[in-house]
Structure 1
Amino acid sequence: MSGDRESEEPDGVWGPVLEIACDESGSDGENLTGGNTDVFAHGSVSLSVASAAATVREIRDRIRSPAEEYKANHLLREKHRAVLEWLLAPAGPIHGRARVHLVEKSYVVVERAAGLLLDGPAEAPALYRAGHDTFGEEGRRSFLEAANRLLRVRDNGDPVEAFYGTVEALRRAHPGTEAARLLGRLAATRARAVAYRAEFLAGPPLIPVLNPLLPAIVRTAALWSGDGRAVRLVHDRQNMLTPDRIAWIEEAAHRSGVALAGVRLVVARDDARVQVADFLAGIARKIASDELNGRGDPALTALLRPYVDPDSVWGDARSRALLAAPPAG
């Protein structure tokens, strides 16, 4: 995957540095089960400022909306389908120069709960399948909401009692099943949950367990670095991206062997590259959500597939297979 030459620059410490512009779509903070979206997307592009500006101008010329700032929703309208297909097509302006990391939010809740309470996330796939295959839609929703409440930093009620009450009710409702076995293991972990909630009395953690943005940024840096090349990320401003958290991102990337030369925050409307990353993130989130919910558009899914990070986070095997990018080469 190659970017514009103009997006590479020398750096006194890192050597050649590739500047990657990023933005997200579908962020609801730690509310992964009661928000407006069921997929989180982190888009990134390797474009020069000039190329990105030309792409934004072309989109505006083709859509001709009077809106001051264009968003992915403009491209997702059926009357602008041709513009969307042009943007994603192999001959389009971002093909080979853009990637998107996708996260199924409900699976993150299950994975984090298993990681905290069951000595690691190994049981997460089975617990996720139990929700779909055994609990029924109402039971699945109850479990996800209770787990989300338990794990998120702020909750005004008693999330520990609510979670274990839900676990016990589901276990009684489905005796003798594999789901009941897993729920039995969870029922024995109350002390861990109490200890986890007690930690918040000393203050909220720097890195919330459930927020998908921070690990997605680290993953994006990993997608673009390598072959002796470092990356610098240019990201839309977010309240979550405080100086301390940016320092954590950089440290986490370095621990993973990722050559991240830094993270710079900008206002999206002032950087055409970030606007294009925002288009990709919003488009990918909608296409992936439709696929996840059984209403996918095969043509759009096929156009999106080359952009999708193979390490995107999915609990649904069908969606993972359909949205997986083909092997390189």
Structure 2
Amino acid sequence: MLIRTNTVEPLVIACDESGNDGENNLKGNSSVFVHASVAISTEAAQELMDEVRARTRSMTVELKSKTLLQPRNQAVAQWLLEHPELTDRCSLLYVHKQFFTVSKLFDSTAEEVAHAFGEDMYGNGAALSAATILFFAGPGAFGPQWFALLDAFEAFLRSATADIARRRLDELVTRFLDILTTSESPVRDFLEMAFTGVQHLEGLSRLQLGEGIAERLRTADPLLAALGGTVNEWKIRSGRPIALVHDDAKELTPARVERLKDAIQHPERVAASMAGTGADVTDIRLVDSKADPRVQVADLLAGLGRAVAEGLLAGKPHQLLPGLEPMQSRFSIWPMPDHVHPQNARATANESRQLLVGDQ
């Protein structure tokens, strides 16, 4: 683990991702998004990439994880994961896209209602617990109606115009009512909590469409959520300001980068319980991955992590899993069965908050 220091020199983190389908979380090419980050020097990263190329005999300009995932190169992948240069100097933040969507649905509705009445569902763990219950119990309790509801919610968020958004919001309300008027499952109560906050989606839609702001929000894009988690992970590890070097991504426009930096630095604007947990982001610089070996290493790790996570969801544990587990970020957005119990969800939220507050 990196040692805390009193210096104000920012810690430079190089990042890349795998499984990026933008806001198409439910029907994209991947069910998992992985954001990888490394805190290593350019020289060390170049040596790692040179050695990986030599061991795989790869001459491609942009070496990808699919090369390392070939059976004949599994030993090379294992070598990379176990390399001392990466020990405690890399992080993989996993996002389960369907769980991310369920959480977004609850946060955008029920949590907004609670916030209006002065309840902090983030701080007390209720939001995480409710989303976890819906994720695990929704399919069995509601069947195809559940997936139709999630599809309608995602379609609403991705609306291209205000007229389309209004029609899709009506469709979402219909999907809610389909379940609420036919189901007798106890899980129905959690969905009813979400339904009480549907009116808040109108305001969210305006932001999603970019009305009154510099550029439309992308609240359903895992990349933006993962960047915040990555910064917080390295803040906890180092106690230092963070500077990000990231592979160029069209989603990371100057306006979104500035909004993201502000959200990371002032999380109390979302939840009062997060006061004092902001992180100092000094820079987010986009680069061509082919020109930065640190980003290339992050790209390999992200690809390996996604392949192993996809296999795990399919019931096929991968032999690289033990090497990847120590790299998992505590800010991964992943459904944990223990979090169906509010006290466990609250404990997780409190632990993260205490670590973020640190010595402030």
Query: What TM-score results when the alignment is normalised by the length of structure 2?
Result: 0.77
Q: Is the 8 A contact 2:16 2:298 kept in 1?
A: yes
SS at match of 1:134: helix
Q: Deviations over 1:170-218 (max 9, x none)?
A: 3455x32123333444445443334543564836754322112122112
Which residue of 2 is the match for residue 99 of structure 1? 91
Pairing 1:202–2:208 present? no
* More displaced stretch, 40-49 vs 198-207: 198-207
Which residue of 2 is the match for residue 326 of structure 1? none
Which residue of 2 is the match for residue 21 of structure 1? 14
SS at match of 2:14: strand
Q: Is the 8 A contact 2:110 2:195 kept in 1?
A: no
- Aligned residue pairs: how many? 311
Q: Is the 8 A contact 1:130 1:178 kept in 2?
A: no
| C-alpha distance 193-215 of structure 1, shift in aligned 2 (>3 A) | closer
Pairing 1:239–2:250 present? yes
SS at match of 2:111: coil
Which residue of 2 is the match for residue 109 of structure 1? 101
Find the aligned partners of 1:313 and 1:235 in 2 and give their Cα distance: 20
Letter in 2 for 1:159: R
Pairing 1:167–2:176 present? yes
Give the deviation of 1:93 after TM superposition. Answer: 3.9
Which residue of 1 is the match for residue 262 of structure 2? 251
Find the aligned partners of 2:52 and 2:92 in 1 and give their Cα distance: 20
Pairing 1:73–2:73 present? no
Which residue of 2 is the match for residue 145 of structure 1? 151
Gaps of 5+ in 1: 9-13, 320-329
Letter in 1 for 2:178: A
| C-alpha distance 264-197 of structure 1, shift in aligned 2 (>3 A) | closer
* More displaced stretch, 108-117 vs 224-233: 224-233
Q: Is the 8 A contact 1:224 1:231 kept in 2?
A: yes
Find the aligned partners of 2:79 and 2:60 in 1 and give their Cα distance: 20
**What does 1:30-45 align with in structure 2 at a 5 Å threshold?**
30-45=23-38
Find the aligned partners of 2:197 and 2:304 in 1 and give their Cα distance: 40
Letter in 2 for 1:179: V
Letter in 2 for 1:217: L
Which residue of 1 is the match for residue 356 of structure 2? none
Gaps of 5+ in 2: 113-126, 267-276, 340-360
| Cα RMSD, aligned residues only | 3.0
SS at match of 2:92: strand
| C-alpha distance 19-34 of structure 1, shift in aligned 2 (>3 A) | same
Q: Is the 8 A contact 1:153 1:208 kept in 2?
A: no
SS at match of 1:67: coil
Which residue of 1 is the match for residue 334 of structure 2? 314
Give the deviation of 1:29 after TM superposition. Answer: 1.1
Pairing 1:221–2:210 present? no
| C-alpha distance 19-127 of structure 1, shift in aligned 2 (>3 A) | same
* More displaced stretch, 66-75 vs 306-315: 66-75
Letter in 1 for 2:97: K
Pairing 1:127–2:127 present? no
Find the aligned partners of 1:283 and 1:29 in 2 and give their Cα distance: 20
Letter in 2 for 1:148: E
| C-alpha distance 197-73 of structure 1, shift in aligned 2 (>3 A) | same
Find the aligned partners of 1:318 and 1:187 in 2 and give their Cα distance: 25
Which residue of 2 is the match for residue 325 of structure 1? none
| C-alpha distance 236-144 of structure 1, shift in aligned 2 (>3 A) | same
Q: Is the 8 A contact 2:246 2:286 kept in 1?
A: yes
Q: Does 1 or 2 have the higher relative contact order (CA < 8 Å, sep 6+)?
A: 2
* More displaced stretch, 304-313 vs 287-296: 287-296
Pairing 1:293–2:331 present? no
Q: Is the 8 A contact 1:87 1:93 kept in 2?
A: no
Q: Is the 8 A contact 2:37 2:90 kept in 1?
A: yes
Find the aligned partners of 2:98 and 2:303 in 1 and give their Cα distance: 18
| C-alpha distance 192-318 of structure 1, shift in aligned 2 (>3 A) | closer
Give the deviation of 1:153 after TM superposition. Answer: 4.4
| C-alpha distance 247-196 of structure 1, shift in aligned 2 (>3 A) | closer
| C-alpha distance 187-263 of structure 1, shift in aligned 2 (>3 A) | closer
